[in-house]
A and B are shown apart, each in its own frame.
Chain A
Amino acid sequence: ETGVTQTPRHLVMGMTNKKSLKCEQHLGHNAMYWYKQSAKKPLELMFVYNFKEQTENNSVPSRFSPECPNSSHLFLHLHTLQPEDSALYLCASSPERGPSSGNTIYFGEGSWLTVV
């Protein structure tokens, strides 16, 4: 039990489908993150939310759309994805973001996405 719960754990979707990944954190944190982990590539930060406001979007294609309705929940809406988007998508949270913050980032178990 990591305190960060992701659903579904596995998702197979066609390129024309619309699906969503869900993340919920039970740690009382105020910052939430989406990361992408692909084989043979470094961990990629996609989006950051701090106190429900998006503070980072690292040039992520618009077919990925995040939503953060409150500090405990984070969604990643998926639409018209490509096979190269197949990866492990990791949600994470931390107490908050800030330059002087040494806060630890805690990860969920991840959602394995396969685009066919």
Chain B
Amino acid sequence: AQSVAQPEDQVNVAEGNPLTVKCTYSVSGNPYLFWYVQYPNRGLQFLLKYITGDNLVKGSYGFEAEFNKSQTSFHLKKPSALVSDSALYFCAVKTSYDKVIFGPGTSLSVIP
């Protein structure tokens, strides 16, 4: 079955430290990969995507993600976390069958 996993429900990181939010997927073919962020009482905002090319993708607000085909992962990273980065983060995969599958979300808390 095709799926997207975000193995951590909650990630806590101190302000100024690097952060990583993990995403792994299980789909056939070559997927398109996305990250979204959701702030409280808001909709999902697009951060970045991987379609093809360089495995390191840079996106909004200083975020980047690394596509690793052998590990079927697309982890979201930021070198220095801000308190304002505290939010819910969703990984999504678009399959070759034109289905978009969202992960369950990871709640990120950046501690001052």
Contact = CB atoms under 8 A, between A and B. Distances in A.
Interface of A: 2, 4, 6, 42-43, 45, 90, 92, 97-99, 101-102, 104-110, 112
Contacts of B97: 99
Contact of A108 (B43, B51, B105): B43
Nearest to A50: B98
Main secondary structure on A side of the interface with B: loop
Given A42-B102, A42-B104, A43-B90, A102 B45 contact: no
B78 to A, nearest CB: 20
Contact of A43 (B34, B94, B98, B102): B102
Interface of B: 32, 34, 36, 41-46, 49, 51, 90, 92, 94, 96-98, 100, 102-105
B94 A102 contact: yes
18 contacts: A2-B43, A2-B45, A43-B102, A45-B100, A90-B43, A90-B44, A97-B98, A99-B98, A102-B49, A102-B51, A104-B46, A104-B49, A105-B92, A107-B36, A107-B46, A108-B43, A110-B42, A112-B41
A107 B96 contact: no
B32 A102 contact: yes
Contacts of A107: 36, 43-46
A98 B98 contact: yes
Contacts of A98: 98
Contacts of A110: 42-43
A108 B45 CA distance: 9
Contacts of B32: 102
Contacts of A92: 44
